[in-house]
């Protein structure tokens, strides 16, 4: 079995196992890492990012306009990227994910837990990391957070795209903060 994630956090195990199992079940398939920035999750993945011009980026494109065929992707990951699109682009982005995923293909999405990051800022109001968790690092156009998520907000967005079925939303530790990890399948 090939590992998908390094440095497993025991709390994240159900999320990691679902995605790793789907990765291994589709060996030789098409895997995408959307919003990969300068580092893809795994070299087997196609890195997609509109801003990062690094070796890990295979396709320069916005996540709501991906130049891949319909029903072509076996596994889609979007870790810490969906918060970088405006609330008006979330629906078109999820529709695009549904378009490129094969039927029954799995997806994993990680976004910051807005409630948790806001509480961290209230506990320690400053212009450093606590503020960056809310608004992004803002070092270039792709590093601004434009949308915040609670579990309920995530469910509301996914309700607009019924072909993307949420299996579970987990609390995920990583990136020095609490996040939501959404796993699901295209139906």
117 located within any domain: no
133 located within any domain: no
122 located within any domain: no
51-60 burial string, b = 16+ CB within 10 Å, else e?
bbeeebbeee
- CATH for 166: 3.40.50.150
Name which residue leads in pLDDT, 161 or 174: 161
pLDDT category at 122 given cuts 50, 70, 90 is very high
Structurally, how many domains does the chain consist of? 1
pLDDT tens for each residue of 10-29: 888 999 999 999 999 998 99
Q: Domain of 155?
A: 10-112+147-186
38 located within any domain: yes
pLDDT of residue 8: 67
124 located within any domain: no
* pTM across the whole model: 0.95
């Amino acid at each position: 079995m090939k590992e998908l994630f390094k440095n497993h956090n025991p709390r994240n195990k159900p999320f990691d196992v679902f995605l790793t199992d789907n990765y291994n079940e589709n060996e030789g398939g098409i895997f995408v890492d959307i919003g990969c920035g300068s580092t893809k999750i795994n070299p087997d993945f196609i890195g997609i990012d509109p801003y990062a011009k690094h070796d890990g980026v295979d396709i320069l494109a916005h996540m709501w306009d991906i130049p891949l065929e319909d029903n072509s992707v076996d596994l889609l990951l979007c870790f810490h990227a969906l918060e970088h699109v405006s609330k008006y682009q979330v629906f078109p982005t999820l529709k695009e994910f549904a378009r490129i995923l094969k039927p029954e293909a799995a997806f994993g999405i990680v976004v910051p837990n807005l409630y948790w990051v806001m509480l961290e800022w209230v506990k320690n109001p400053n212009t450093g990391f606590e503020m960056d968790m809310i608004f992004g690092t803002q070092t270039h156009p792709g590093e601004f957070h434009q949308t915040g998520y609670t579990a309920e907000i995530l469910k509301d967005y996914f309700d607009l795209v019924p072909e993307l079925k949420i299996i579970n939303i987990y609390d995920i530790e990583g990136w020095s903060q609490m996040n939501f990890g959404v796993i699901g399948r295209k139906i």
